[in-house]
Amino acid sequence: MYNLIQAEWFKLRKDRSFRTIPLLIIGAAVLLSYFSVQNVGAGAFIISKFYKAEVMGFNIEMIKLFPSILAGFFISGEYAMGTMKSVASSGNIRMRLYWAKLAVFSIGAMIIALILPFVATGASSVISGFNSAPDWLFLAQTTGLYMLYAASFASIMAVISTIFTESGKAIGFLLMFFVFFDELLYVLSSKLSFIEPIWNYSVFKLVLDLGSIRTLDGGQWFTLLAVPVLTYVLFGLLGSWIFHRKEIK
């Protein structure tokens, strides 16, 4: 298993999309910081408010959309190139192959989740002339949760990318899914009572509550942590089952 993870990590580091995505996010973080400081003025700029009001909302979209692109190339792309067929026929157990790829892909998604919060915080501090200090505890708590939710979203992306065998189709479907599914689920939950608990206890809803973590009680914290872990395990098992039964051409 360790050798499989090492091999997948090597492939991830060589993946062009994984090299490009961080650069795009860094550029977006610097631009967001610059225009936000210019909008209110360096003297009135408060980093903690900027982080909560703007960075957190942007980062939720980042951890859903950019890993979707990475999944298309890193997972679905290997079917089109024949890499997955070669690996699957090498004698390794398919379950191990899937979990190794999912583990490394999840690490990639978690790395993506860290970039915007830290770069935007650092860039805004420099641009504003260090007039205010970041709320380091809140930053650490939320980035840790971003990593957890990025991994849970990654498990969903891995299932969809395993179903599709072309990177273009996988990326297109994943982007559409993560742009519209949470809105669709929210609308359905307001119309159909049996869907409401599904929405309330889904990673799509709970990730929106990260900004209010300081007002949560113990039970709410447990839900916030347990749901993404269970989502990761369930979709990991589903994906490994699909991969085990999939005919790889």
Q: Which two tokens stand for residue 169?
A: 């189709």
Q: Find out whether 108 and 18 touch, Cβ atoms under 8 Å.
A: yes
Local confidence band at 168 (pLDDT 50, 70, 90 cut-offs): confident
How far apart CA 171 and CA 118 sit, in angstroms, is: 27
Buried/exposed code over 82-120 (b: 16+ C-beta within 10 A; e: otherwise): eebeebbeeeeebeebbbbbbbbbbbbbbbbbbbbbebb
Backbone dihedral region of 240: left (phi > 0), alpha (psi from -120 to 50 degrees) or beta? alpha
Local confidence band at 87 (pLDDT 50, 70, 90 cut-offs): low
Answer whether residue 86 shows pLDDT above 90: no
Return phi, psi of residue 129, to 5°: 75, 30
Section 113-134 average pLDDT: 89
pLDDT one-digit tens code per residue, 173-231: 999 999 999 999 999 998 888 999 999 999 999 999 998 888 888 889 999 999 999 99
Mean residue pLDDT across the chain: 89
H/E element, 14: helix 2-14
The pLDDT assigned to 45 comes to 86
Answer whether residue 25 shows pLDDT above 90: yes
